[in-house]
């Protein structure tokens, strides 16, 4: 059975995307990695060809597609070996906030640009002293007439340098209950008082411009708030299911690429005239990794369909996020062992993939947080 219910439209989309990525992205992956940035232009190209935000309704320039497109994008992008072009983050995690909670005016103003790639987005939740713990958030958003004044700093923000728009979570110090004090605001790049920090050096995702963001009496109109005052916590909660699932897609796809590449390398590499793949221990390693990947993929696909159906699968998506993001880490480590010194060279993709995979079990809520959530919702 095919778990994912693709239509002809999905298949055509995938084919077009494949061609696009092979032409416009894959050849430049190494260059962007060493430049530690993807060019703004690639966002526009991707947008103009219709590959950004496929779930945005047609009236705002999107395809009006379902979440299955996210799976397609995630899978096809994994073939490029580049994580820095964070289309899934933009399309499936950030822009949906505007789609779901934005006013008609906000949607008209921003969505077309998000789809066309003229607006690159970021979301700013994490702070230096508050990682997974939203209640520890210190950034404030205080009403001043018709404006909101934002103060605070955020860190580990993907697309932090390129972004034209950032969705900022900030708390109203006047509201005691933390769960009712957080609002989400749209802040345009260039707004006075909003400064982007320097790019952070990190283990992987070198072409991704992760940075700190600073808000220093940053004044925005109250109309830039998403939804109701104090509704931030609930909005975040509502969107986390899709965010976690998107991480799981990425984890499975990354694991698949790593394992495939290693398998093919083991066919080619010989030790004393015998291909590595003819060693039984190598075969077992590859079979075990492939089985884990198939098992993980099936679970993830089922959750994609459940999500498309609109089911509440909070326990399962928390599990999937941790399971499917541990996967590429475990597999990359084992593949490195198979390939030996050769695998450690950055000139082949496994070393980079290992570095890139490592953040997956940390971002979007650490895998420990995922287990806490699952335990809570399983009634423990």
Partner 1 sequence: MIEFSRSQKEIQKAAREFAVGEFDREAILEMEKRREFPEAQWKKAAELGFIGITFPESFEGGGSGLFDACIVAETFCRKDSSMGSALMSADFGCECFARFANGDLKAGYLSAVARGETLSTAAYIETLQDGPVSTIQTTAVRDGNDWVINGYKRYVVNADKAGCLIVLCAAGSEPVLILIDSEREGVEVRDVGKRLGGNMAPVSDVEFRNVRVPDANLIGGEPGLGLRQLKAVIDERRIRAAAEAVGIARGAFDRALAYVKQREQFGRKLSAFQITRHKIADMAVKIESARLFAYHTAALFDKGRADSTQIAIAKMTASKAAVEVCDEAIQLLGGYGYMTEQDVERFFRDAKTNQITLGTVHSHKDDVAGAVIGPKRRRP
Contacting partner 1 within 299-338 (CB under 8 A) = 329, 333, 336-338
Q: Please name which of 163, 154, 258 lies closest in space to residue 212, comparing C-alpha atoms.
A: 154
The one catalytic residue among 127, 212, 243, 316: 243
Give the DSSP letter of residue 360.
G
Q: Give the Cβ contact number of residue 314 at 10 Å.
A: 16
Shortest distance, position 268 Cβ to a second copy, whole Å: 13
**Is 243 a residue of the active site?**
yes
Shortest distance, position 262 Cβ to a second copy, whole Å: 12
User: Does 288 contact partner 1 by CB under 8 A?
Assistant: no
User: Does 287 contact partner 1 by CB under 8 A?
Assistant: no
Q: Give the Cβ contact number of residue 278 at 10 Å.
A: 12
By C-beta, is 200 or 315 nearer to partner 1? 200
Q: Are 183 and 198 in contact (CB under 8 A)?
A: no
* 64 contacts: CB under 8 Å, gap ≥ 6: 55, 56, 57, 58
Joined together, the tokens standing for residue 240 give 């986390």
| DSSP per-residue string spanning 278-329 | GSHHHHHHHHHHHHHHHHHHHHHHHHHHHHHHT---HHHHHHHHHHHHHHHH
User: Does 1 contact a second copy by CB under 8 A?
Assistant: yes
By C-beta, is 59 or 133 nearer to a second copy? 133
Question: What is the Cα–Cα distance from 106 to 99, expressed in whole angstroms?
Answer: 9
Contacting a second copy within 277-296 (CB under 8 A) = 277-278, 280, 283-284, 286-288, 290-292, 294-296
Catalytic residues: 243
Binding residues for partner 1, rule: CB under 8 A, are 126, 129-133, 135-136, 155-156, 200-204, 269-273, 276, 279-282, 284, 329, 333, 336-347, 351, 354-355, 358-359, 361-363, 366-368, 371
Binding residues for a second copy, rule: CB under 8 A, are 1, 3, 277-278, 280, 283-284, 286-288, 290-292, 294-296, 298-299, 302, 305-306, 309, 316, 319, 322-323, 368, 371-372, 374-375, 378, 380
């Amino acid at each position: 059975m095919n778990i994912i219910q693709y239509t002809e439209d999905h298949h055509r989309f995938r084919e077009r995307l494949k061609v696009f990525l092979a032409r416009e992205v894959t050849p430049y992956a190494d260059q962007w990695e060493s430049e530690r940035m993807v060019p703004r232009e690639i966002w526009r190209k991707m947008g103009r060809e219709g590959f950004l935000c496929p779930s945005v309704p047609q009236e705002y320039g999107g395809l009006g597609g379902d979440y299955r497109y996210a799976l397609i994008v995630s899978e096809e992008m994994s073939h490029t070996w580049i994580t820095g072009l964070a289309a899934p983050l933009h399309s499936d995690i950030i822009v949906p906030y505007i789609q779901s909670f934005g006013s008609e005016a906000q949607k008209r103003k921003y969505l077309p640009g998000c789809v066309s790639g003229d607006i690159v987005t970021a979301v700013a939740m994490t702070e230096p002293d508050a990682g997974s713990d939203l209640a520890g958030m210190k950034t404030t958003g205080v009403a001043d007439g018709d404006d909101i004044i934002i103060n605070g700093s955020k860190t580990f923000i993907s697309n932090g340098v390129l972004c034209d728009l950032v969705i900022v979570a900030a708390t109203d110090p006047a509201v005691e209950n933390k769960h009712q004090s957080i609002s989400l605001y749209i802040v345009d790049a260039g707004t006075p008082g909003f400064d982007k920090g320097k790019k952070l050096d990190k283990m992987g995702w070198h072409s991704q411009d992760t940075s700190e963001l600073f808000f220093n009496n940053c004044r925005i109109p109250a109309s830039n708030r998403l939804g109701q005052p104090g509704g931030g916590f609930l909005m975040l909660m509502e969107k986390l299911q899709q965010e976690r699932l998107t991480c799981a897609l990425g984890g499975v796809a990354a694991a698949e690429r790593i394992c495939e590449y290693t398998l093919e390398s083991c066919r080619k590499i010989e030790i004393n005239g015998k291909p590595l793949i003819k060693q039984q221990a190598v075969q077992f390693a590859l079979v075990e990794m492939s089985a884990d990947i198939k098992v993980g993929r099936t679970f993830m696909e089922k959750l994609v369909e459940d999500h498309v159906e609109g089911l509440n699968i909070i326990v399962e998506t928390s599990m999937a996020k941790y399971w499917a993001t541990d996967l590429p880490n475990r597999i990359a480590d084992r593949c490195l062992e198979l390939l030996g010194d050769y695998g450690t060279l950055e000139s082949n993709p496994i070393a980079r993939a290992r570095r890139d995979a490592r953040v997956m079990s940390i971002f979007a809520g650490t895998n420990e947080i995922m287990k806490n959530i699952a335990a809570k919702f399983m009634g423990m």
